[in-house]
Structure 1
Amino acid sequence: MITFFDIPSTLPANAWSLNTWRIRFTLNYKRIPYKTEWVEYPDIAAVLKKHGIGPTDENRDGTTYYSVPAILDVDDTTGEVKAALADSIPIAEYLEKVYPATPRVFPEDEEGLEEQKAFRVLREMVPIFTIMCKATLPVLNEASRDHFSKARAMDLYELYEVDRLEDVPYGEEEKRVLWRDLEVCFGKLDEKVAKTDGAGVWFKGDRITFADFVIGGVLIWMRTILGENSEEWARVSPWNGGRWGRFLEGLKDYETVI
């Protein structure tokens, strides 16, 4: 059985993180049985170390950085640990290899695989990071808020030079500019997807690939945190001819939170 490590929230669905949703979508799409272990931000390093799951990066001070998504795959009969992995691409590659009878999410050809592995959204959508991190902070459990505030402020330091998310300027004028810029970013993403999707909905047309789960992670993060019936989400879903509302609707069967 696979144990999938994710970050909880105060929201009814609990799941919210764009990064972990990439793997939740993958597991659900492949219909691989799993269970979720919810881990607050300050506990991630200790929990992953306990299970032999290594770091994924280094902090600016040179210390090791532990992150989710992460999985622990244990044989139900023998108790043998088959895999202890973190980071979405290595996890998705493992699931492709070890569960070959399930629907693939990566192309068979090397060029297509590299394209999927290199696909990024947030690097080209800087405004979403400020908007959504500010919106996410209040819905986290108290145990995670301080950690999230400091960590995301560090990510945004070159823009704002503050140590906590609460200190990022976010008045009405800042919101207006960020949302305007975000619409431009989605327009560029729309152009990128339209070049490859043919007549289909997805990044590669009629077939879902991992890139769609990357995009879907961003969209479900926005819809979950902002609220499906919110004015903000009602602004986003019709952009680019309604592509993004249709996109998430197409992933609806894979939104199960176990």
Structure 2
Amino acid sequence: MSSASPIVLHDIPTKDPQRCWSWNTWKTRFILNFKGLDYVTEWIEYPDIKPTFEKYFPDETEFTCPTIRLADGETYLMESSKIAARLEADYPTPAIHLDLKSPQFDQLIHNLRAAMIPLRPVYIYLVLTRLLSDKSTPFFSTRRAEEIGMSVEQYHQECDVEAAWEEAGKGFSGLTAMLKANGGPFLTGQTVGYDDFICAGVLLFFKTLGDDVFAKLVKVSGDGGEAIKDLLEAVEPWSKRNSY
């Protein structure tokens, strides 16, 4: 197949109007948009992921998005960090400054985990009830119930939501401190990189869950949301394309 074939990004859609929501697929979409690469989005619902991809990854047992097909029309890659490394190698300009072993990356992941883990009962429930289509909701509900040992609804009901947000604020305020450390809007100051895309993808995920959810994030961010809003505004040239 011709090397002129567009890259194919396999992404999980929301209900109509379909758009990107997952922080994991945002990582790849940001790179494609930032580098100005020729790509198309192929939406894939949760129950279709395994039957679609298992033939391309015969040694794998778990199948996820993002998955991309490269411009050669034959090579498939799964898992966001592997995709990032390959795209940076194949298309080095403009650079995303990929360094998954840097102190900054380690601190970013530490803060993201501190923010996300307490809120897992909240966002899993909201993904199920607000975002996913009717085709994906039964699969998502069943799989998450298997993982957590109870229904998604019970998981959410047993969560002290206000306490969860208060705990998550430790992580979000940590992100705010990182963004302010070098003057913003990006983590290193004026130069955008892959770490910023990871951070922005998480913020966009919460924004997609609803204005009420994002308002709570802003409240616990440590500075009234100034730094995270500055980041989202700065990455807007590469987040506008989220539906095709």
Question: TM > 0.5 between the two?
Answer: yes
Q: What CA deviation, in whole Å up to 9, does each residue of 1:85-107 have, x standing for no partner? A: 0011110111111112x311125
Identical-pair percentage: 29
Across the aligned residues of Structure 1 and Structure 2, the Cα RMSD in angstroms comes to 2.3
2:151 is equivalent to residue 170 of structure 1: no
Q: What CA deviation, in whole Å up to 9, does each residue of 1:5-57 have, x standing for no partner? A: 0001114352111110111011101111100111111111111124x24676x
Looking at structure 1, the residues matched to 188 and 146 of structure 2 have their Cα atoms a distance apart, in angstroms, of: 35
**11-20 or 86-95: bigger deviation:** 11-20
| Matched residue SS, 1:208 | coil
Are the counterparts in 1 of residues 12 and 46 from structure 2 also a CA contact under 8 Å?
A: yes
User: 2:119 is matched with which residue?
Assistant: 128
2:86 is equivalent to residue 89 of structure 1: no
Looking at structure 1, the residues matched to 59 and 44 of structure 2 have their Cα atoms a distance apart, in angstroms, of: 16
User: 1:143 is matched with which residue?
Assistant: 135
Match of 2:213 among 219, 224, 232: 232
Q: Where does 1:150-229 land on structure 2 (aligned, <5 Å)?
A: 150-155=142-147, 157=148, 161-162=149-150, 164-170=151-157, 174-194=160-180, 197-226=181-210
Where has structure 1 moved over 6 Å in runs of 4 or more? none
Paired amino acid for 1:90: K
Q: Where does 1:28-177 land on structure 2 (aligned, <5 Å)?
A: 28-50=33-55, 52-53=56-57, 64-75=61-72, 80-81=73-74, 83-100=75-92, 102-107=93-98, 112-115=99-102, 120=109, 122-125=112-115, 126-138=117-129, 139-155=131-147, 157=148, 161-162=149-150, 164-170=151-157, 174-177=160-163
Looking at structure 1, the residues matched to 59 and 42 of structure 2 have their Cα atoms a distance apart, in angstroms, of: 18
Are the counterparts in 1 of residues 141 and 152 from structure 2 also a CA contact under 8 Å?
A: yes
Displacement of 1:237:
3.3
| Matched residue SS, 1:143 | coil
TM-score (norm 2): 0.84
Displacement of 1:249:
1.3
Unaligned runs of 5+ in 2: 1-5
Looking at structure 1, the residues matched to 34 and 85 of structure 2 have their Cα atoms a distance apart, in angstroms, of: 14
Displacement of 1:246:
1.5
Are the counterparts in 2 of residues 55 and 86 from structure 1 also a CA contact under 8 Å?
A: no
Looking at structure 2, the residues matched to 34 and 54 of structure 1 have their Cα atoms a distance apart, in angstroms, of: 25
Looking at structure 1, the residues matched to 118 and 196 of structure 2 have their Cα atoms a distance apart, in angstroms, of: 21
User: 1:61 is matched with which residue?
Assistant: none
Paired amino acid for 2:68: I
**85-94 or 128-137: bigger deviation:** 128-137
Looking at structure 2, the residues matched to 41 and 253 of structure 1 have their Cα atoms a distance apart, in angstroms, of: 29
Residues 169 and 237 from structure 1, CA distance in 2 versus in 1: closer, same or farther, beyond 3 angstroms?
closer
Q: What CA deviation, in whole Å up to 9, does each residue of 1:66-88 have, x standing for no partner? A: 1111100133xxxx52x310011
Are the counterparts in 1 of residues 169 and 222 from structure 2 also a CA contact under 8 Å?
A: no
Residues 55 and 92 from structure 1, CA distance in 2 versus in 1: closer, same or farther, beyond 3 angstroms?
farther
2:17 is equivalent to residue 12 of structure 1: yes
Are the counterparts in 2 of residues 9 and 15 from structure 1 also a CA contact under 8 Å?
A: yes
Are the counterparts in 2 of residues 237 and 243 from structure 1 also a CA contact under 8 Å?
A: no
TM-score (norm 1): 0.80
- Number of matched residues? 229
Are the counterparts in 2 of residues 18 and 218 from structure 1 also a CA contact under 8 Å?
A: yes
